Structure 1
Amino acid sequence: ALVELEAATPAACHPQPVDFSHQEQLSAQLQVFIPSDVFVREGEDAILPCRSITAGQWVKSVRWRRDGEVVLDVRSGKTTYGNGFDESRVSIPSDWHQRANLSLIIKRAEARDGGVYYCDIDKVEKHRSAVRLHVSTPPTPPSTTSQPTTTERDIQCVLSRFSLQRHRGGRRRG
């Protein structure tokens, strides 16, 4: 049996439950995926890289997932989309089978799009890669007001003879 661990952060793994009670012999395989990072600003297009040799190979399916949920799934030439995603926002290059480029393109990225995405390619040899998308929101511009930025104030200055003489370098007289 294959136990799949997905890490939300490099230090935290949450195993998916697997029933081993009927197994006489137990073997386990652990695959660790360290996601690459992609940084975009909100409103920009995000390209999450995924490449695999596809020339001359029959590709059964290509699937992009985030938090265990399907984002985009290509199977037998048919593309389906997960909740909150559609063809106006997510895609892979139309010539992916010729160029081996299965990168996920997210148009007009939003803060809620951030997270770890997995690219799974099912062919003769399975391929998986992981990408962490960071979407930054631009700072809120300061609000504009109609009040002036400077204020005029009267300042009272008191000058005494003593301070004037001293200031001028004069001597104090008796």
Structure 2
Amino acid sequence: MALLLRACLCLFAVLVFVDGSETKLIVREDEDAILPCSLGAADISSRVFDWKKDGRVEVFIYDDGRYYGKGLSGQHEQFRGRVFHFPEQLKGGNASIVIRKSKPADSGTYACIFPHEQPERRAHVELIVGASPRPIITANETSDGMLLLCEVNSASPEPVLEWRNSSGNILPAEKPQVSEKNGSYSVVLQTTVTKSGRYRCVSTQQKIHHQVYTETHVNVHEGAAPKPVIAVKETKDGLLLQCEVYSASPKPEVVFRDSSGNILAAEPQVTERGGSYDVILETTVTKSGDYQCVATQKEINHQRSTETRVNVPSGDSTPWIVLVGVLVVVLVFVAVGAVGAVWFHIKKKKTLKKKYEETTATGA
């Protein structure tokens, strides 16, 4: 097996001569990538050849028996301990290297350079490291149907996602959400379906001729109750909570619950039209807190709820009004009494003065 592998490597390597040519190499993530380069049949064991990525990143250099990790330094940390050459094939002109456990960040254009040859000799290899994880599907029921979410994480190169129905037709979907990190892509694609059936999320990476999909079956209840709507009205007795559920089939059971989960007393108003039900439920609360309206359809194992928080005005304002009224009356009486006392004092003073004047006049 080792002999066969060496023979294949030699055959592959001599196909890429250092003459300015370029080849494309596609491998999967975690596979070893062999980047081929050859100077023909010439003995290169005492020569210099240099491998660079994207024109500037130092991948590997060989100089007359010395190389990175053995007498030479300067190798980029991304490739440290991962890149090796084939010493036993140097005499046959093989300057190929192998990158162990390739990863998407290794993708790029590599140059194999013989800088001391006249003229300088070089060849290029485009490496594509493909990461192709299987799509992940999640389904969430909404008032409009079933929301299908497809996620592909850490893929390289960037995949194109599509939703397809059981007939293979492409479904309309929202614009995909794409994020990139270190050459890996994460993509999210969502669509809403209104019919039960099998649906497939397909991930295609055209650049590496790869396609993978995940399939799921969903049950969409066409008569499933929509999310309840809650209205709040202030009354003299507290706050009136009104819950409305429309066009539900089968008939839903609608209840109000407090923050402890206790069902509140209420009598539903139910109307039916063509097999669909409208339900209105009212209850009055006298305490502030969180309240929930829950609509349950046991026949189809469906439940929806809406929660609201209310603040009930505290206490009755009547005692305060009475108290203020009493205070006003008291203040009026005090004011009237004070005015009367002043008037009486002035009148008395005038009377005494008049008697004094009369007495004086008589004595004279």
Mapped contact 1:60–1:122 kept (Cα < 8 A) = no
Larger relative contact order (CA 8 Å, sep ≥ 6): 1
Contact kept in structure 2, 1:92 and 1:102, CA below 8 Å: yes
Bigger Rg, structure 1 or 2: 2
Q: CA deviation at 1:139?
A: 2.6
Q: Partners in 2 of 1:152 and 1:35 — Cα distance?
A: 53
Q: Does 1:43 align with 2:26?
A: no
Q: What amino acid maps onto 2:79 in structure 1? A: F
Structure 1 residue 47 displacement after superposition: 1.1
Task: Judging by fraction of residues, say which structure has more strand.
Answer: 2
The answer as to whether partners of 2:44 and 2:92 remain within 8 angstroms in 1 is no
Share of identical aligned residues, percent?
26
1:82 aligns with 2:76: yes
Per-residue displacement from partner, 1:61-107 (whole Å, max 9, x unpaired)? Answer: 11100121210011131112323112x31111122322211112111
1:44 is paired with a residue of what secondary structure? Answer: coil
Contact map agreement 2:25 2:128 (CA 8 A) in 1: yes
Greater shift, 66-75 or 48-57, is seen at 48-57
> Structure 1 pair 61/54, CA: closer, same or farther in 2 (3 Å)?
farther
Contact 1:59 1:123 in 2 (8 A): no
Q: Structure 1 residues 84, 33: CA separation in 2 closer, same or farther (over 3 Å shift)?
A: same
Runs of 4 or more above 6 Å deviation: 152-156
Partner in structure 2 of residue 117 of structure 1: 110
Closer, same or farther in 2 for the Cα pair 1:76/1:152, shift >3 Å? closer
- Where does residue 102 of structure 1 map in the other structure? 95
Partner Cα separation in structure 2 for residue 74 and residue 82 of structure 1:
15
Q: Aligned-pair RMSD on alpha carbons?
A: 3.2
**Alpha-carbon spacing, 1:58–1:84, altered in 2? closer, same or farther (3 Å):** closer
Matches of 1:143 and 1:90, distance apart in 2? 38
Distance in structure 2 (CA, Å) of the matches to 1:116 and 1:54: 25
Q: Find the aligned partners of 2:121 and 2:220 in 1 and give their Cα distance.
A: 70
Which structure 2 residue ranges, 5 or more long, are not aligned? 1-18, 69-74, 140-215, 224-248, 251-364
Q: Which amino acid in the other structure matches residue 120 of structure 1?
A: I
Q: In the TM superposition, what are the counterparts of 1:118-137 in structure 2 within 5 Å?
A: 118-125=111-118, 126-137=120-131
- Residue 109 of structure 1 and its aligned partner are, at CA, apart by 0.8
Unmatched segments (≥5 aa) in structure 1: 1-31, 157-174
SS in 2 for 1:72: strand
Q: State the number of aligned residues.
A: 124
Match of 2:51 among 48, 64, 77: 64
TM-score (norm 1): 0.57
Separation in structure 2 between the aligned mates of residue 124 and residue 133 of structure 1, nearest angstrom: 25
Equivalent-residue separation in structure 2 for 1:132 and 1:57 (angstroms): 23
CA contact (8 A) 2:107 2:129 kept: yes
